[in-house]
Amino acid sequence: MIIGVGIDVAEIERFGAALGRTPQLAERLFLERELLLPGGGRRGIASLAARFAAKEALAKALGAPGGLLWTDAEVCVEDSGRPRLEVRGTVAARAAELGVRSWHVSLSHDAGVASAVVIAEG
């Protein structure tokens, strides 16, 4: 059963400018391992913007309650390259309240825009 669906878009240039103006913003939004590519290099702005959109979409799928911590939702990458979500803390607690058992996530970026869709399934 689908419990919630969220979608979000982020303008890549605007997101990059926000990260540039506020260097500690990346630490508030992402875990260190989210900032890195599987090979250890730094992830690009378009990829980070898509991950931010996924976190926004996740919050929407949960009904956009206050008090969720950005770093309690992690966008991971499977060996196949497929994105997946890992949740803990505030996000896991809200998901448990709603009966969420699994997540589906899709990320994209093109033409200056990053987007994400998240489906919470119970």
Nearest to 48 by CA among 120, 122, 116: 116
Detail the residues annotated as belonging to a binding site for Mg(2+): 8, 56
The DSSP code sequence of 92-107 is HHHHHHHT--EEEEEE
Distance (Å, rounded) from C-alpha 36 to C-alpha 101?
A: 27
First-to-last alpha carbon distance for the chain, in angstroms, is 5
Binding region: 8, 56
